Amino acid sequence: MTTFSIKTAALTALIVLGSFSAQAGILHTADGTPVLTAEGTPVLTGTDGAVNCADANAPVAAAVAPAAFDHERVVFFDFNKSDLTKHARHQLNHLAKKSHAQVITVVGFADRIGNAAANEKLAFKRAKTVRDYLVAKGVKAKKVEVRSLGKSAPRANCAADLPRAKLIECLSEDRRVEIEFSAAK
């Protein structure tokens, strides 16, 4: 994610030019995407549309949508769970059959709800669950590398003020394991 530091005057100019707009106290891009600080919090505006001074000098994450998922190589999980769903097992069965002579990197992720240490542990447990399943289906264990990025690489862009149930639903793309293939070493 690209970040940049932007001053109040520059933000005001961009709002006037139509590159950004202030909606419901949060700065948005022209397409309605909330602008986030590098820490992932929305850049707030006052009732007049001016950027709050505390956010004016904060590094701001570039509002660029992440690339689309290759859904064949992404397994999703329920909230706070590391169990494979029926759909996930079906996907992994297919991937196990075509993984011969390749090295597989299994990367676990979690949503932003909860503390960083717990999310790191959960993301690793999800990745390990996927690795164990692939090994049980005949993939050589030495060809599967497991990593965890916890909540450090979110895909979902959800408002901070959503009710908990809606936030959990919105963050579903962040509860995942991505499976990467590379040539055998």
% residues pLDDT > 70 (the chain): 60
Residues 89 and 162 in one domain: yes
**Domain containing residue 178:** 71-183
- The chain-wide mean pLDDT, for the chain, equals 76
Residue 117 within any structural domain of the chain: yes
Residues 36 and 99 in one domain: no
- Round to whole Å and give the CA distance between 51 and 45: 4
CATH number at residue 156: 3.30.1330.60
Residues 124 and 142 in one domain: yes
Residues 42 and 77 in one domain: no
Those residues whose C-beta lies under 8 Å from the C-beta of residue 177, and which sit 6 or more positions away, are 74, 75, 77, 106, 107, 108, 109, 126, 127, 129, 130
Number of independent structural domains in the chain:
2
% residues pLDDT > 90 (the chain): 53
Give the tokens for residue 122: 């959960």
Q: Does the pLDDT value for residue 12 go beyond 50?
A: no
The pTM for the full model equals 0.63
Residue 17 within any structural domain of the chain: yes
Residue 49 within any structural domain of the chain: yes
Residue 66 within any structural domain of the chain: no
Q: Does the pLDDT value for residue 89 go beyond 50?
A: yes
What mean pLDDT do residues 130-141 have? Answer: 95
Residue 24 within any structural domain of the chain: yes
Q: What is the DSSP letter of 32?
A: S
Residue pLDDT, tens place only, 50-67: 555 454 445 544 444 445
Residue 75 within any structural domain of the chain: yes
Q: Does the pLDDT value for residue 2 go beyond 70?
A: no
What mean pLDDT do residues 71-91 have? Answer: 93
Residue 77 within any structural domain of the chain: yes
Give the pLDDT of residue 98.
Answer: 81
Residue pLDDT, tens place only, 142-165: 999 999 999 999 999 999 899 999
Residue pLDDT, tens place only, 17-62: 344 444 446 665 544 566 666 556 666 665 545 555 454 445 544 4
Q: Does the pLDDT value for residue 102 go beyond 60?
A: yes
Residue 69 identity (one-letter amino acid): F
Higher pLDDT, 99 or 89: 89
